[in-house]
Chain A
């Protein structure tokens, strides 16, 4: 509803994404700018997420803004039964922007409709986590020098992986080719395949995580295969070691290939990959800072 709010990746046009990429690039070159001096930013984490919160708060601090908020809803009035609406209305009296994470899906969209200050979604349940998508996109943009016409291979839990679904949406503006590598039980749901079909984007599905797929890729996007996602534990035991990336699997990959992972990782990337120059997941997390600086500025400073 409010143009400045940042709720879902589906709201972002190709131009919006490219604009944010350029801005993030500027913040990477010069992260300390006093753009938010005199601004108060609220970080409302109704559901804890240390990694995301620290990244947002660092972004605000480096831009000279002030932070108020909470990192755990159990210490706030929502534990007394206050509605989200009332909390948002109250905080809107104090802050210039609200960055929120909530366990309920659609919470950020609703918040953006009940207040006049911009809302930045830092995750709403299993629905959206658009700042993660922006940092994924920025990592791709930065390592490949472009977003257009890339071959992107996604591996692991493609059924429940929120980051996978959002990245599909974000990349859909840029004519990618996708390879989806997943066990039968965790294949990409049909609604996302329909979305790609409508957009005329080509994709290939594999159950084998083979070097052939890796060797044609520009980006290898790894995700965690979680035990609790399986209805059949026998099936889990069978596939649990099939989607692990080891260093030698990268031997014949393209020189520009980079390995991404939204983190935290468990065992799906072997530790010997960490020293490979193609491993990019730690820098990827750092890019979150620049991407979030861009998102906050975009929400607050109209240009």
Chain B
């Protein structure tokens, strides 16, 4: 039943992106991070859907939208292992897992008030030193930030 429903949702899109397997509790954060409120094309948001992989999941379907790498990087911090389906002409042409990149530019705020990035008009830059536990290191002040302290700009 659930599988059929999912097929229908994907198939209904002519062109666009389906973000699937979003952890249910992160769904609305992902919606806000992607700036979906400002979307000019139709968006379907599914909350609390049944999932084989996880008990409940969220799904976002956006018509005529294809994300840039840095937009995906933002969600990778809060919803890693979500799945991106790129739809063109009703077909899934590409599937990719959302994965934390090696470097995050202009996405995370440095928690060190004495860091240059908090005092100059410039982009922050972090190296991801532990992908599994999400540990970031500021490229400038060299301070480390753990997952629970990450603030997304």
- B-binding residues in A (CB < 8 A): 8, 10, 83-85, 102-107, 109-110, 124-128, 191
With both beta carbons as reference points, the residue of chain B lying nearest to A85 in the complex is identified as B120
Check if A106 sits within 8 Å of B121, measured CB to CB.
no
A127 cross-chain contacts in B, Cβ below 8 A:
141-142
Among A85, A105, A125, max chain B CB count under 10 A is at: A105
Q: Which of B117, B139, B140 has the most CB of A within 10 A?
A: B140
- Interface-centre pick from A8, A104, A106, A110 (highest chain B CB count, 10 A): A106
Number of A-B contacts (CB under 8 A): 51
B residues bordering A, Cβ < 8 Å? 112, 114-117, 119-122, 138-144
Main DSSP-derived SS at the B contact region: loop
The CA-CA distance from A83 to B116 in the complex, in Å, is 11
Cα A192 to Cα B144 with chains together (Å): 12
Which residues of the partner chain A approach B139 to less than 8 Å between Cβ atoms? 106, 109
Q: A110-B140, A126-B114, A128-B142 are in contact. Are A104 and B122 (CB under 8 A)?
A: no
Min Cβ gap B110→A in Å is 8
Question: How many angstroms from the CA of A104 to the CA of B138 in the assembled complex?
Answer: 13
The distance in angstroms between the C-alpha atoms of A125 and B121, with both chains bound, is 19
**CB within 8 A of B140: which of A85, A106, A126?**
A106
Residues in B neighbouring A103, C-beta threshold 8 A: 114
| Most B CB within 10 A of own CB, among A8, A103, A125 | A125
Known contacts: A83-B120, A84-B116. The answer to whether A125 contacts B142 by CB under 8 A is no
Q: In whole angstroms, how far apart are the Cα atoms of A126 and B112 in the complex?
A: 11
B117 contacts A106, CB within 8 Å? Answer: yes
A294 to B95: give the CA distance in the assembly, Å: 54
* Chain B residues whose CB sits within 8 angstroms of the CB of A126 once the complex forms: 114
| Most chain A beta-carbon neighbours within 10 Å: one of B121, B122, B138, B141 | B141
Q: Are A107 and B144 in contact (CB under 8 A)?
A: no
- Whether B120 and A105, one on each chain, are in contact in the complex, defined by CB atoms closer than 8 angstroms, is no
Chain B residues near A83: list those with CB within 8 A.
Answer: 120-121
CB of A280 to closest CB in B, whole Å = 29
Please tell me which one of the listed residues B114, B121, B144 contacts residue A104 in the complex, with CB atoms under 8 A apart: B114
- Contacts A83-B120, A85-B122, A126-B114: A106 and B144 contacting too (C-beta < 8 A)? no
